[in-house]
Structure 1
Amino acid sequence: MEDYDLGKVFKLIEPGPVVLVTTSSNGRPNIMTMSWHMAMEFVPPLIGCIISPEDYSFEALYATGECVIGIPTVEMMKKTVDIGNCSGKDVDKFEEFGLTPLPAGKVKAPLLAECFANIECRVVDRSMVDKYGLFVLEAVKAWTDPEHKERRTFHANGDGTFVVDGESVDLKDRMVKFPECL
């Protein structure tokens, strides 16, 4: 073993997959790229996500308490990175990147037609937002596109490189402690 830079520890535990977060404030939808999120609970389904106050989407999420998490697949990797490299303050990202907003069922933020899955969310806990930028979201409706054949997602390594999902290994018969997850 050798020393590792503590400022780079995040690269060792990057969550997965890279997602797109849509918000809508004052009738204006926006999209941001996010890789810092985590599942927190099964029922109700809770998702923790970190969004910096410096991100344009922060203000909309904080004000409306609603968003959609779109899960892109490998065919959208470059576009997803490009979305993260500009601000919705300056660019209409739906128009700029040729993305299709669809009406959500329970929130005002739009679904992303190009994503294979979308999760409508409402903020249920803001207690760690000021200190950490951590919003706790409750998933209130989820969608998948059965026509979307590609299902491989991609994960950030934290240094501009990504890992693409690959081989699946079925160990369901060993999942005895949490059978409700199967």
Structure 2
Amino acid sequence: MMEPLPLSRVYRFIEPGPVVLVTTVKGDERPDVMAMSYHMVVDDGDPPLIACMLGPWDYSFSALLSTRECVIAIPTVDLATKVVEIGNCSGADTDKFEKFGLTPVPAKKVKAPLVAECLANFECRVKDDSLVERYNMFVLEAVAAWVDPARKERRLFHHRGDGTFVVDGRVLDLKKKMTKWPSYIRD
């Protein structure tokens, strides 16, 4: 039997992707890094488009709004506690790279740094900001992407919206069943 679910909890069931880190840098200020779980793929083409939600309550918001660029870094489960702690403080008064022992690496196409400890990093530029004022949503275009093939830990983690997280687990290989969408079968 189904029971009513408060509408404020709907997102807990459709959270689209792993927790990520977003780096920004504004002018000559030190770079900042924030934790984020509100994002989604908008277009999986070349280049991919990623929508994400940042608002004025986020220290990184003004940097992204003014520079129109950032890096989305993909941490693995071994960084989960550190990522949550990053989300618990503000770059307004904390050098998060220093406090949490993260290594900023110069990006090739944007000023914001990559995060060396992450599995992957996507250099992004704002493609569309027409939804920012109404929904705090930026549409980002990935302009360069990096992955660390030597990284042993590859499991990502997903926020469930209530302070708990789910870690990637067993992989279901259903490639042979993907007859309608063979283009999604990639290496």
Give the TM bin, normalised by the shorter chain. Answer: over 0.9
The one-letter code of the counterpart of 2:84 is V
Q: Is 1:72 aligned with 2:75?
A: yes
Q: Which residue of 1 aligns with 2:62?
A: 59
Q: Which residue of 1 aligns with 2:152?
A: 149
Q: TM-score, normalised by structure 1?
A: 0.97
How far apart are residue 8 of structure 1 and its match?
1.5
How far apart are residue 177 of structure 1 and its match?
2.5
Q: How many Å separate the matches in 2 of 1:180 and 1:15?
A: 21
Q: Which residue of 2 aligns with 1:29?
A: 31
Q: How many Å separate the matches in 2 of 1:177 and 1:139?
A: 27
Q: How many Å separate the matches in 2 of 1:161 and 1:65?
A: 32
How far apart are residue 143 of structure 1 and its match?
0.3
Matching residue within 172, 177, 182 for 1:174: 177
Alignment of 1:1-182 (within 5 A): 1-27=2-28, 28-43=30-45, 44-182=47-185
More displaced, 5-14 or 119-128?
5-14
Q: How many Å separate the matches in 2 of 1:22 and 1:98?
A: 15
The answer to which structure has the higher strand fraction is 1
Q: How many Å separate the matches in 2 of 1:87 and 1:34?
A: 13
How far apart are residue 162 of structure 1 and its match?
0.2
Give CA-to-partner distance per residue, 1:52-76, whole Å, 9 cap, x none.
Answer: 1110000000100100000000100
How far apart are residue 179 of structure 1 and its match?
2.1
Aligned residues: 182
The one-letter code of the counterpart of 2:23 is T
Structure 2: segments with no counterpart, 5+ residues: none
SS of equivalent residue, structure 1 residue 127:
coil
SS of equivalent residue, structure 1 residue 114:
coil
More displaced, 66-75 or 10-19?
10-19
* Identity between Structure 1 and Structure 2 (%): 62
The one-letter code of the counterpart of 1:24 is V
More displaced, 169-178 or 95-104?
169-178
The one-letter code of the counterpart of 1:72 is P
How far apart are residue 147 of structure 1 and its match?
1.3
SS of equivalent residue, structure 2 residue 107:
coil
